[in-house]
Structure 1
Amino acid sequence: MRVHLTESGFMFSKIASITLPIFTLVLVGFLYSRRVKPDLGGANKLVVDVALPVLIFISLSAKSFDPISALSFTGASVVLIFLSGLIAWPLAKFSGATLQAFLPCAMFTNVGPIGIPLIALAYGPAGMATAVVLLVISNILHFTLGAGVMSGKVDWRMVYANPLVWATVLGVASSQLQLTLSDWVQTSCTMIGSVLVPMMLMSLGARLASSQVADAWVGVQSGVLILVVRIAAVFLTLWLIPLQGLERGALILFACLPPAVFNFMLADKFQVEPNKVASTVIVGHLLSLAFLPLGIWLAFL
């Protein structure tokens, strides 16, 4: 009994140590934005265009990164995204949104602002390469398949013009060629990449503070359905492609993330029920506050 209580206490402490820093930074961004109402457009663009690619390059260029051993995890990530779409397809009629609006929200999660900090806090530096694989796979499919679902066509320019893709290519090439960065370059890149996690979380809090939910009920319906879809999809994926340890936990955490904010940007661009998509994204993030601790518990079982 004492052992069980000790294990439960350790698990609770682990969950708290991961979620509390995330929620704290989101809350800081939320409260600051409610009072100051900053224009975060320039800062967000700097983070996405500079800090995120640098972090991807540094993580993938590490000597510990082995793309061959990552193939099974990469395949599982792709399978999870596609299974989420297949399971969500017949459930879209219960979401209150159209198929074009609902499917991308079920398939693509907020890997950048939430996923990278979550996996980094859960697994430390060892989890960064895994988090980067998730980010790259999710972004490439989001820019092609996700945009295609909403617009009706796939624009490959969104892939090869994306700095995240080039950072991935250069990072893997650097790792395989065993290139060594000079100390000052390594330090500079590390400093740039270190601003990513706190800025993404505070920016997310600021976005939530400035958002207005036009159709909250659709967001609730869609948000709950997406949680069910993603959990079913991840365990089906793990049955098809058994993963162990860090990779298994990271995939479960990936499935528990809220819908990506980029879904709203696509919906607004292509005018696919942007208000309903915004509601789904916002409510999904609110639901994740309660659901992420369960996801962390499942990841460490």
Structure 2
Amino acid sequence: MMTAFITALTPVILLASLGFLLAKRTPYLDNPQLSSLVSNIGLPALLLTAVLKMNMDFGGMLSIVAATLSCLTGMAAVSYAFLKTVRLSTQFYLAPLVNPNTGNLGIPIAYALFGTEGLATAVVVSSVVQVSHFTLGVGFMSGDYQPKQLLKNGPVVALLLGLLSLGLGVSLPTPLMSTLEMLSAITLPIMLMLLGKSLANLNFSDSTKLYRTIGLACFRPIVGVLIASLIVPWFGFNSAQEATIISLQGMSVAVISYMLATKFAGPKDEIALMILISLPIALISTATVWWLYQ
């Protein structure tokens, strides 16, 4: 089993490592439009392709959305209480604890471990988490939130189109599906290399906050998996879907939380360190979930 797990994760680790090395030695990943290409073109195409090809009815897709929202709500309640107990700011720490990295880490891992059904489930979960980033994340860190921002989010629009297509029973012509599949093919490799670039560019200056950061980094994947394990089985998913959702709730702190903290003058160095520390813990929790569902 461990051999299969390592085999599945090897491309994920190698591509992220390649992004790390390219960021250190070349300017290949420096173009700021590269992440926009993935976010606005590649990820929506991947999401729409997976939704249209998934063997799932409209109700099944809504169940995944409902399960993800339930997990995020439970995580938000527990995280809020935890931060209040330890007297840390909810403005900058709540969103990083609640929102896992279901995008450039979670989607490739879900596909590697649980196949096409895991991929389809993961892109739906990731879209819901994207909504959380642009509501809970932006709202708390900025102190202001405008709902119209969601209408500019490509993955959210793709999710709505996918829901509409499933609800109406509409399928796209083969040439259009082939186009979407070709656009989707660029997404996962670039996402993983950009993750490696983000890790390569992180900076740390205040070592006195190390223990607190370690505690928060451990909290995100461990508590995320525990809450999902209590909630998700009630929805009656098959084993692949259930394992995928639980695994995704145990992912590391999201890179977008670091980006938002940078944008809104938050503790970006602490959140950057949380990303690094939570990565191996997330992989261990994912391996545990994968092993339990074999």
Asked whether the two chains share a fold, i.e. TM above 0.5, the reply is yes
Q: Does 1:294 align with 2:294?
A: no
| Alignment match of 2:69 (pick from 59, 64, 78) | 78
Which deviates more from structure 2 when the two are superposed, residues 233-242 or residues 243-252?
233-242
Deviations 1:120-143 (A, max 9, x none): 112222223211210111111221
Counterpart of 1:169 in structure 2: which amino acid? Answer: L
State the secondary structure of the residue aligned to 2:60: coil
Alpha-carbon offset, residue 29 of structure 1: 1.2
Deviations 1:196-234 (A, max 9, x none): 111111111111112113346143221012233213211
| Alignment match of 2:279 (pick from 280, 285, 300) | 285
Q: Report what 1:33 is aligned to.
A: 23
Normalised TM-score (structure 1): 0.87
- Where does structure 1 lack aligned partners over 5 or more consecutive residues? 1-10
Residues of 2 paired with 1:62 and 1:238: CA distance? 23
Q: Tell me if the contact between 1:219 and 1:280 (Cα under 8 Å) persists in the aligned partners.
A: yes
Counterpart of 1:171 in structure 2: which amino acid? Answer: G
Which deviates more from structure 2 when the two are superposed, residues 244-253 or residues 194-203?
244-253
Q: Does 1:146 align with 2:140?
A: no
Matches within 5 A, 1:121-270: 121-215=112-206, 217=210, 218-238=212-232, 241=235, 243-270=237-264
State the secondary structure of the residue aligned to 2:25: helix
Which deviates more from structure 2 when the two are superposed, residues 124-133 or residues 192-201?
124-133
Question: How many matched pairs?
Answer: 290
Normalised TM-score (structure 2): 0.89
Q: Measured at CA, do residues 178 and 243 of structure 1 come closer, stay the same or move farther in structure 2, by a change above 3 Å? A: closer
- Where does structure 2 lack aligned partners over 5 or more consecutive residues? none
Which deviates more from structure 2 when the two are superposed, residues 175-184 or residues 112-121?
175-184
| Alignment match of 2:60 (pick from 53, 65, 69) | 69
Q: Does 1:21 align with 2:15?
A: no
Q: Measured at CA, do residues 240 and 68 of structure 1 come closer, stay the same or move farther in structure 2, by a change above 3 Å? A: closer
Deviations 1:86-142 (A, max 9, x none): 112232268785222221111101111011111111222222321121011111122
Q: Tell me if the contact between 1:117 and 1:197 (Cα under 8 Å) persists in the aligned partners.
A: yes
Q: Measured at CA, do residues 18 and 211 of structure 1 come closer, stay the same or move farther in structure 2, by a change above 3 Å? A: same
Q: Does 1:46 align with 2:40?
A: no
| Alignment match of 1:275 (pick from 255, 269, 276) | 269
Q: Does 1:107 align with 2:101?
A: no
**Once superposed, what is the RMSD of the aligned Cα atoms?**
2.3
Aligned-residue sequence identity (percent) comes to 25
Residues of 2 paired with 1:232 and 1:60: CA distance? 27
Residues of 1 paired with 2:220 and 2:166: CA distance? 36
Residues of 1 paired with 2:262 and 2:75: CA distance? 23
Alpha-carbon offset, residue 16 of structure 1: 1.3
